[in-house]
């Protein structure tokens, strides 16, 4: 339903998005990840037609956004990074106004209020709301017309832990019959709500896959945490190092009669738990703990994105008329 083809965006001499391509199908929830200044928000603005690309194309359900922006936008629900609100309106009157613009009615407003848990504040003016309720009001306007496609920029920003969980569950449910892209800095949200994740860095896609597939790329993935007794720790470490396919053995603690640590396999040959079990059986050692480490999404994120000083200071204003921040 969303097709991004060779998309690039420059602001003067600054290349914010650099020739990226991806697709999002119906039933997919795509988590869009990246460091500050990586190009996430700029990409989402181009997908929704808010910003024109320097080059490349975006298709929404087969509609070229550059050629038929209105037709494409009718299929999209968009929650921007800093969504505009009319502070003197109540929540209900604001959503009723949006409904009228989109050709929807009172029942659609009430449904959006219920879905976004806005009932307790629906008669309050927006300027009296907390940040969390303001953000939920913005989310409600993006889903009010029941769009086929949702583009959500930081949808849980400003919410408390309970509200974050409610929104994650909502996104997961809606993702069963919609195409959804949402950006986030919270990696646990990707694991909780996404069927797929893209990591973008310096305007380029550097990883794309299911969360579990990305976690498997972490350097610690497939290693075994062990606690073994019955021999001097140094001896146990030496025996573990002799197993075929072991890249290295990392020591956590050892004594004259025990060892605890991590057995890290070679990338080419995986060391399975059976090899460690057989070693202990052969040497008469007591295997007290054997645990396979899955790998963590935050490890993958750190390993494949840049962390030097120059990159960490990329969160600067771009040279465009809107003065948007590249994110």
Least confident range from 49-63, 174-188, 258-272: namely 258-272
Same structural domain, 267 and 178:
no
Q: Answer yes or no: is 57 within a domain.
A: yes
- Higher-scoring residue by pLDDT: 66, 315: 66
Same structural domain, 204 and 266:
no
Q: At what angle do helices 91-101 and 131-143 cross, to 10 degrees?
A: 20
Nearest of 50, 72, 70 to residue 59 by alpha carbon: 72
Cβ–Cβ under 8 Å, residues 24 and 2: yes
Cβ–Cβ under 8 Å, residues 276 and 243: yes
Domain enclosing residue 15, as ranges:
2-75+147-216+299-312
Cβ–Cβ under 8 Å, residues 116 and 139: yes
pLDDT for position 310:
42
Note the pLDDT tens digit of each residue in 217-273.
776 778 899 999 999 999 999 999 999 889 889 999 999 999 999 998 886 566 678
- Whether the pLDDT of residue 318 is over 60: the answer is no
Q: What is the DSSP string of 187-238?
A: HHHHHHH-SEEEEEETTEEEEEE-HHHHHTTSTTTT-EEEEEESS-HHHHHH
Q: Structural domain tally of the chain? A: 2
Same structural domain, 260 and 169:
no
Q: What is the DSSP string of 140-183?
A: HHHHTT--SEEEEESTTTT--HHHHHHHHHHHHHHTTSSEEEEE
Least confident range from 113-127, 152-166, 195-209, 294-308: namely 294-308
Note the pLDDT tens digit of each residue in 290-308.
998 877 777 788 878 865 4
Same structural domain, 198 and 243:
no
How would you classify the pairing of strands 2-11 and 14-24? Answer: antiparallel
Percent of the chain with pLDDT over 70: 91
Q: Answer yes or no: is 142 within a domain.
A: no
């Amino acid at each position: 339903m969303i097709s991004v083809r060779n998309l690039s965006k420059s602001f003067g001499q600054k290349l914010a998005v650099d020739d990226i391509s991806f697709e999002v199908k119906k039933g997919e929830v795509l988590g869009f990840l990246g460091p500050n200044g990586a190009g996430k928000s700029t990409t989402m603005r181009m997908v929704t037609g808010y910003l024109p690309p320097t080059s490349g194309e975006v298709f929404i359900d087969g509609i070229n956004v550059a050629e038929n922006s209105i037709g494409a936008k009718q299929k999209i629900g968009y929650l921007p990074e800093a969504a505009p609100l009319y502070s003197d309106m109540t929540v209900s009157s604001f959503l009723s106004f949006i409904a009228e613009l989109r050709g929807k009615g009172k029942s659609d407003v009430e449904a959006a209020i219920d879905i976004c848990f806005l009932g307790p504040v629906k008669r309050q003016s927006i300027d009296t709301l907390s940040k969390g309720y303001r953000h939920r009001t913005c989310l409600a306007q993006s889903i009010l017309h029941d769009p086929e496609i949702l583009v959500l920029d930081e949808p849980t920003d400003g919410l408390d832990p309970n509200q974050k969980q409610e929104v994650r569950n909502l996104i997961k449910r809606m993702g069963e019959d919609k195409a959804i892209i949402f950006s986030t800095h919270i990696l646990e949200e990707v694991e909780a709500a996404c069927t797929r994740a893209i990591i973008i860095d310096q305007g380029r896609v550097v990883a794309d896959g299911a969360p579990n597939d990305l976690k498997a790329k972490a350097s610690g993935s497939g290693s075994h945490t062990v606690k073994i007794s019955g021999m001097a720790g140094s001896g146990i470490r030496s025996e573990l190092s002799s197993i075929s396919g072991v890249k290295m053995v990392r020591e956590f603690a050892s004594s004259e009669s025990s060892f605890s640590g991590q057995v890290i396999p070679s990338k080419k040959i995986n060391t399975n738990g059976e090899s460690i079990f057989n070693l202990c059986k052969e040497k008469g050692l007591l295997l007290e703990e054997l645990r396979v480490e899955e790998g963590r999404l935050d490890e993958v994120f750190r390993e494949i994105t840049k962390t030097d000083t120059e990159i960490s200071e990329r969160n600067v204003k771009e040279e465009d008329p809107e003065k948007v921040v590249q994110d």
